[in-house]
Each structure stands twice: as C-alpha cells, then as structure tokens.
Amino acid sequence: MKKTIIVTAIVVILTSAALAVFVSLTTENISLTNFAEVKRGNFEIVVSTSGELVAENSIDIKGPNIVRNRNFRSSAIKITDLVSEGTEVKEGDYIATLDKTSYDNRLKDELERLDTYQSNLEMAILDSAVTLADLRNEISNQKYNVEEADIYLQQSIYEPPSVQRKAGMELDRSKRLLEQTKNNYSLKLAQIRNNIKNLKATNNKQLAVVNDLRDVLATFTVTAPSSGMVIYKKNRLGNKIKAGSMLDPFNPVVATIPDLSVLDSKIYVSEIDISKLSPGQQVQITVDAFPGKEFTGYVANIANMGEQLPNSDSKVFEVLVKLNGTDPMLRPSMTTGNRVIIEKYDDVLYIPIESLHAGQDNMTFVYTKDGIRQVVVPGESNDKYIIIEQGLVAGTNVWTTTPDNTAKFRLEGEELTFNSGQGASAGAAGVY
C-alpha cells in the first residue's frame, strides 16, 4: 500500500515537472516571436512585383487580312491547329491551319455565279453575231433594191412622164431605206457593244471575287515569315491564342517570332507606387525557372496611362524593364520577380514596421523588452522595415506587437518629439 502511494507521488511529481518545462519552453518560444532586434546596416526602398519576359522586337505571324478586303465580311476565324509554343521553325515552315469551311462554301457559291456570268457573256456574243449578220444582210439586200430602182429609172426615159416620176420616187424610197438600215445597224452595234462591255465588267468583277477568295484561302495555312522560335500571342484579355481560339479579324496575329537577343521584363505597378518610379532606376530580376540566379536591369519605359487588368479593381501602369545583357536560357513568357530600387541608405538603424506605434499626439515610439516606451524619430520605410533616425541603438529588442501591460512601461525620450519637429510627424504618417 505504501509502495503504491510512493509510486503515485513520484508520477505526479514527474508529470508536474515535465508540464512546467513544456510551459516554460512554450512561453519562451512565444515570447521570442514577439520581439525583434534593432539592426544596423544597408537599407533599400524597393517596389517589388512579378512580371514576365517579353521580346523587345518580334515578327508577327499573321493570318488572312480579311478586313482590308472589301469583298469579305469581317468575322472571327477559328484556329484548328497550331504548332506547340517554343517550336523552332525556319522561314516557310508550317505554323497553323485556320477553319475555312465557311469560305469554302462561299467560294463554291461565287464559282457558280461566275459560271452564270460567263455563260451570259458567251450567249450575248453569239446572239450579237447573229443579229448583226442579219442586219448586214438587210443592208446588202437594200443596196440591190437601190440598184434595181436606179436601172428602172434609167429605162423609164422612153415611158410617159408619170411612169418616169414613179420610177424616181421608187429610187428615193430605196435609198432612204438603205440609210435607215445602215443607221439601225450602227445603233444595234453600239447597243451590243455596250451590253457586252457591261457583261464583261460583271464577269471580271466576279472573277476578281473568286480570285480574292482563292488567295485568302491560300493564307488559311499559315507559314513562318522568318526563322526563329514560335511564341503564342495574347489577346486583349491576356489569354494566349492557341488551337481552338478565335482569330481577331482586326488583328489577325496567330503567333510571334521574337528576337531573343533583347529581352524586357514587363511588369505592372499600382497607381499608388507608380510615382516612385522613374526611367533609369536599377532593378534586380529573378526568373522562376532558374531559382537562385539573379539578373540586373533598369527601368526603360513607364506607360503614361493606367489600365485596369481583368479581375482587378485598381488601376496599374505598364512598365518595361530592360535586362542588362542576355542569356540563352531565357525565353519569352517566363515569370519574373522584379525589385525596383527606389532609394538606398548605408549604415542606418531599422526595425520592423509593426514595432512602431503612434500616439494621439503624433508621438512615435516603440516598446522595448526592458519595459521602456521609447520615443523615436522614424525615417523612410519600405514594405517591411522603417529607418529609425534617433532614439534606439543597435541590438535593442523591441516588441513587434502591443504588450498587454502598456501602462507599466516607462516613457523615455520625450525630448526627441520637440527636437525632431515635423520629422517625427512625417515619419509617423506611414505607421500602422
């Protein structure tokens, strides 16, 4: 019985000890996460954003340009087949096939219409030949009539005057009929020529429509305009154009062949940060495809107008960052990380932004691990840290959160509020 009591007591003691150690370690770990050390070193103000590599120069691989052809109605064309992105091609190599079903049907209709026009033209030419031949025969016959009337008139000199007068009248009538027949022939010839001219014009116009259709259909099999790597084009919504996509008739670019010798990183910067950027600023660039490798570049161009990207409520500005040099491993559309260096400071003190607090009197301060509410003069800040110009020394541990018993903290450094003037207020403006 005594042994059981003793064993039970030992177990309780060991359990309590283990629990105390666990609580102590846990509390220590929790407390460590609540503090940050004041550090001294170089400080950078940066704007960080992701982007993608784009070629500064590229050749567009275009489909049929239907918009400029007045014989066709502008409509989207489906891409039925497209080579894989990244394919190396030579000039004239196959790139894509476009759906030409509707245009094939249109060509059949236009060919039937052309056959009708050609038949009408041939028939008109044959009819004209027959009509003109008949008119020429009439002219010939009328000439004979004139000759007969003239002979009859000559023979009537031995006849009574009435007979001679009748013979003269018959000759005049025959001559008038001859002139009338000739005039009819001239008028009919002009009419036939004009009719055939119109039929030929209609036929030629229809032939041009058929030839245009054939020429356009020939471009529905897209080939490479030059040698290089095929990169998919993006539409206005930012989606890549690929097999199954509809080709915009106003911008019939199927894909591009970029110049890989000059690459840019295209980024979008929010309207809040865009004022911080200016051409020439240095940029540190990483590429997701090559972890651990860093490239350098500089801000080359900043868009004058903002835009609203899909699924975004805020305006952004397009910025092009030119890479220094090139690397054969880099390819367009690779995702990049970009750190635009706005400002650099050497040998300064800085702390996490969340360690800085502001009172109602615009006094900025920090809570130290030693139980002091230390007034400080803040300087510039980036997205994580803020420079402390006065009030702290390197190595001091400050709270990263607001402690529970703030009333017990002793206030020190009030004179900095008056010495710093507007500096403290300005620094506090960016405090959380």
In a domain, 213, yes or no: yes
Inter-residue contact 292 to 344 (CB < 8 Å): no
Residue 287 near residue 330, CB atoms below 8 Å: yes
Which pLDDT score is estimated for 419? 64
Question: Within this chain, do residues 246 and 285 fall inside the same structural domain, yes or no?
Answer: no
Same domain, 234 and 271: no
Residue 167 lies in a domain: yes
Question: In angstroms, rounded to a whole number, what is the distance separating the alpha carbons of residues 288 and 282?
Answer: 20
**Do residues 360 and 352 make contact, with C-beta atoms less than 8 angstroms apart?**
no
Residue 181 inside a domain? The answer is: yes
In sequence order, what are the residues at sequence separation of 6 or more whose Cβ sits closer than 8 angstroms to the Cβ of residue 284?
294, 295, 296, 338, 339, 341
Are 122 and 180 contained in the same domain? yes
Final residue of a domain: which of 344, 373, 390?
A: 344
Give the per-residue pLDDT at 68.
57
**Structure token pair of residue 384:** 């994580």
Q: Which two three-digit tokens encode residue 382?
A: 């980036």
Residue with tokens 């008739």: 249
Q: Which of 313, 344, 375 is the last residue of a domain?
A: 344
Regarding whether 185 and 120 lie in a shared domain, the answer is yes
Query: b vs e for 99-126, b when ≥16 Cβ sit within 10 Å of the residue's Cβ?
Result: bbeebeebbeebeeebeebeeebeebee
Where does residue 416 rank: exposed (0-12), middle (13-18), buried (19+ CB within 10 A)? buried
Within a domain: 36: no
Q: Are residues 75 and 109 in the same domain?
A: no
Q: Render each residue's pLDDT in the chain as its tens digit; 432 residues.
A: 444 444 454 544 444 444 444 334 444 444 567 899 999 999 999 999 999 999 989 999 988 876 556 666 667 788 999 999 889 999 999 999 999 888 888 889 999 999 999 999 999 999 999 989 998 999 999 999 999 988 888 888 888 888 889 988 998 998 999 999 999 999 999 999 999 999 999 999 999 989 988 888 888 899 999 999 998 888 877 788 889 888 887 888 889 999 888 899 999 999 999 999 999 999 999 999 999 899 999 999 999 998 887 777 789 999 999 999 888 889 888 999 999 999 999 999 999 999 999 887 778 999 999 999 999 999 999 889 999 999 999 999 999 999 988 889 999 988 887 666 544 343 433 343
> Could you give the CA distance from residue 136 to residue 309 in angstroms, rounded to a whole number?
79
**83 lies in which domain range?**
58-99+220-253
Assigned domain for 368 exists: no
CB atoms within 10 A of CB 82: 23
Q: What's the burial of 255, exposed, middle or buried (CB within 10 Å: 0-12/13-18/19+)?
A: buried
- For residue 17, being part of any structural domain is answered with no
Q: What is the CATH number of the domain that holds 75?
A: 2.40.50.100
User: What is the pLDDT at residue 70?
Assistant: 62
Lookup result for tokens 């509809």: 246
Q: Which residues contact 190 (CB under 8 A, 6 or more apart)?
A: none
Q: Cβ(40)–Cβ(349) under 8 Å?
A: yes
Number of structural domains (the chain) is: 3
172/231 same-domain check: no
Same domain (yes/no): 79, 158: no
Q: Give the residue carrying structure tokens 């790139």.
A: 95
Q: What is the pLDDT of residue 69?
A: 60
Domain boundary among 325, 344, 363: 344
For residue 283, give the CATH number of its domain: 2.40.30.170
Is 33 a domain residue?
no
User: Does 18 map to a domain?
Assistant: no
My answer on whether 159 and 266 are in the same domain is no
- pLDDT given at position 1: 45
Residues 165 and 236 occupy one common structural domain: no
Q: What pairs with residue 386 in β-bridges? A: 351, 381
Q: What are 167's two structure tokens?
A: 């013979």
178 and 227 inside one domain: no
Q: What is the reported pLDDT for 428?
A: 38
163 and 230 inside one domain: no
109 and 210 assigned to the same domain = yes
End-to-end CA separation in angstroms for the chain: 64
325-340 burial, b for 16+ CB within 10 Å, e for fewer? eeeeebbbebebbbbb
Q: How far is CA 70 from the centre of its chain?
A: 26
